[in-house]
Amino acid sequence: MKVQTTVTNSLDTLKGVAVIKRDGTKTSFYSYKINLVLRELKADVDTQKIVADHLLQQLKGKDSVDTATIANIIVDALRDAGHDEMAASFLKYRKLDEEEFANATNPQYKLNKLFDRNSRVVHENANKDSKVFNTQRDLEAGAVSRAIGLRMLPQIVAKAHMRGDIHWHDLDYSPVTPETNCCLIDFDEMFKHGFKIGNAWVSSPRSIQTATAQMSQIIANVASLQYGGCTANRIDQVLEPYAKINYEKHMKDAKEWIAPDKQEEFAKAKTKKDIYDAMQALEYEINTLYSSQGQTPFTTINFGLGTSWICREIQKSILKIRIKGLGREHRTAIFPKLVFTIKRGLNLNPGDPNYDVKQLALECSTKRMYPDLLMYDKVKEITGSFKAPMGCRSFLQGWKDENGKEVNSGRMNLGVVTVNLPRIALEARGDKNLFWDIFNERMSICHTALKYRIKRTKEAKPENAPLLYMYGAFGKRLKRTDSVDEVFKNSRATVSLGYIGLYEVCTTFYGPNWEHNKEAHDFAVSIVKAMHDDCAKWEKAEGYHYSLYSTPAESLTDTFCQDDIKKFGRIENITDKEYYTNSFHYDVRKHPTPFEKLEFEEDFPKYAAGGFIHYCEYPNLRQNPKALEAVWDWAYDHVAYLGTNTSIDQCFKCGYKGEFEATSTGFKCPQCGNNDPATCDVVKRTCGYLGNPMQRPMVHGRHEEIIHRVKHMNAGMIANAAKFERDKQADNVRIQHHSHAN
């Protein structure tokens, strides 16, 4: 049912009046906000009209007005209408708003929530073990930084964040420190020219073992100088020259000690062993590192495009090591995230030169979920050039330097602000015009927030993060006196507008089973396109690349939903689930085929090119990797970035392998009931990264979302459906050819 819009309509003439906030920030006059206030106060239509008349009389002809004056006019109008209690309620609401802001900006208040072991604070990052000292220290520092950070933000942004209208990500680090978010580390530049960490100057590596050792140290340092993920792009090709040095050394030895016809065989065998050992060391080093933030560095490695025997050996070693697992129990490694590139003509089809590596990748995915896939042609189509994501899903756009050279590694993201789309829909109550009015106001706040992120990040000095700015991680080597803006400006860096909950938005307007409703789907796409268009407009005006980002929402899926339960109550299929659906994803409770799910989602990333991922849920696929390959092959021409979610849990007490049973508090072995983290290995995809909820618990909403996920068909059905989809595509091609011929 649509809300009464009497006030909104009558106050449209005040849209040109500037509203001055308490901190001096200026915004437009949004008449719908008066309507929402009066709705909260349960004012009838006559009372709404009285308030509107008072506002029109006293603000007519004014260029600007402060919020206190607007509040006083509303209070006077309510009292004149005989609604003293309503006026008192309004004043109480404003007072509570100020008290909440005072508490949120009080470091001691934030510390008290932490020391009370508030689960939303302690478990907001599934990669942090809150039981260990260094993580506890980081959480304590983060609690204080949140309070100080809210004071630093423009007040309109800080209050929107506190209310749950938007979310300023990583408030425990930014804006108190002007850190960047995530990046593609320029390992190639650093290896070739050397770098400095602390007091040590590190020269170019002379073996692949040294190169991967340096790589792990770079990753640890970069992870401590920013707050998001880091990626090694095309790692097989980056490491190839250093493995070649190993080969040349072994050939030199072979010429001295080995018969001529066996020399190359000897050198290759020794080099392959070196490659395997180096990649295994990298895997163990990353999983045993702690950054200064008290967590394992969020690390991604991309591989698959190299064609030489050395590159192929690096690719195969990465996969074999992951298949083997960590330690004597062969547990699934959480880091680094593996991202394998598939490319037509290289490894997609039988007969392609690297098709055997794809088969190994399939085996690895059925046993360890990773690698996720990058479809080469689609990545280029959507983002403008091929590159891996920064961290789990943040993508750079295609970009060339002043010499016309394409640049990807060494670039970065400056941070994310996410809008709560379900709240806008709930506030609009079925009125699409009102939805767009609220949407535009929230976009204005997000723009203010993102502009501040850029401004604050530019206040860093190169010496604050020497490895990033002075020693090559960000691709350039700045002097101490240079501006860090040299690596941000002219759209070299990205800053991201995030979003969550398209499923809940369309459920509000079209009901819970809207996925096959074209009008609903078009409406969802129109929302994403509108955000994309705003980003493009901001970039054109300011010269920084505003990208649209499909937020992973590891803890935000819980935070926004809990905020809205308090505001709107438990609404069926929206807030009663106790989580919001990530970005543009299909409702996790439903049973589409993998092909239906991906076809539904494929329209969104072309607008949200700044960050996206698709994934499908499968049963245990160890015995039928060809079923998974059927999905991969079909997906190649439809989506750019695809993850595999399958059952890989293990119980070391009874030997069970498969899907652990979800409970209200965690997971247990369905065979023996074991739920001891020491004797079981439970791995789930939290969002873009994998997580181990038995070792490091997640927030409640993310746990609820995970246990509600259903499988998208069994292996046999997948294979049959794939054949049907291929036949359907072939029929469509034949029809098109026939049509063109005629």
Residue recorded with tokens 């899926």: 557
72: annotated active-site residue = no
181: annotated active-site residue = yes
CA distance 29 to 559: 28
CA distance 556 to 540: 30
394: annotated active-site residue = yes
Q: Which of 127, 174, 291, 394 is catalytic?
A: 394
392: annotated active-site residue = yes
Q: Which amino acid is at 213?
A: A
E strand intervals along 133-241: 166-168, 183-184, 195-197, 200-202, 230-232
Residue 723's SS3 state is helix
CB atoms within 10 A of CB 239: 28
CA 282 to mean position of chain CA atoms: 24
The DSSP-derived string for 652-696 is TTT--EE-PEE-SSSEE-TTT----GGGEE--EE-SSSEE-TTTS
* Structure-block tokens of residue 531: 């955000």
**CA angle, 135 then 139 then 144, to 5°:** 150
User: What are residue 161's phi and psi, to 5 degrees?
Assistant: -65, -45
Q: 338 pairs with which residues across the strands?
A: 301
| Long-range contacts, stretch 570-573, CB < 8 angstroms, 24+ apart | 571/426, 572/512, 573/504, 573/507, 573/512
Which is nearest to 298 in space by CA: 394, 378, 365? 394
By DSSP bridging, strand 26-28 and strand 200-202 are unpaired
Q: Which of 183, 375, 392, 535 is catalytic?
A: 392
354: annotated active-site residue = no
742: annotated active-site residue = no
Q: Which of 30, 370, 549, 689 is catalytic?
A: 549
Q: Which of 31, 35, 181, 550 is catalytic?
A: 181
Q: Is there a contact between 309 and 269 (Cβ–Cβ < 8 Å)?
A: no
Q: Which of 130, 413, 550, 582 is catalytic?
A: 413
User: What are residue 7's phi and psi, to 5 degrees?
Assistant: -65, -50
CA distance 596 to 725: 10
* Structure-block tokens of residue 682: 């439970």
Burial of residue 590, with CB atoms counted within 10 A of its CB: 0-12 exposed, 13-18 middle, 19 or more buried: middle
CB atoms within 10 A of CB 536: 15
Residue 644's SS3 state is strand
Which is nearest to 510 in space by CA: 574, 560, 438? 574
547: annotated active-site residue = no
182: annotated active-site residue = yes
Q: Which of 688, 698, 704, 725 is catalytic?
A: 688
Instruction: Name the strand (E) or helix (H) holding 509.
Output: helix 502-510
* Structure-block tokens of residue 692: 């181990």
DSSP 407: -
Q: Which amino acid is at 495?
A: V
The DSSP-derived string for 520-588 is HHHHHHHHHHHHHHHHHHHHHHHSSEEEEEE---TTHHHHHHHHHHHHH---TTTTTTSS---TTPPPT
654: annotated active-site residue = no
Q: Which of 86, 162, 182, 669 is catalytic?
A: 182
Q: Please tell me whether the peptide bond between 336 and the residue prior to it is cis, using omega within 30 degrees of 0.
A: yes
Distances (CA, A) of 466 to 181, 204, 225, 294: 16, 18, 9, 21
The DSSP-derived string for 420-476 is EHHHHHHHHTT-HHHHHHHHHHHHHHHHHHHHHHHHHHTT--GGGSHHHHTSSTTSS
Q: Which of 215, 390, 535, 680 is catalytic?
A: 390
Residue recorded with tokens 């850190």: 179
Q: Which of 441, 515, 554, 601 is catalytic?
A: 554
HSE toward the beta carbon, residue 260, CA cutoff 13 A: 0
User: What are residue 182's phi and psi, to 5 degrees?
Assistant: -135, 165
CA distance 697 to 664: 12
Catalytic (active-site) positions: 181-182, 390, 392, 394, 413, 549, 554, 688
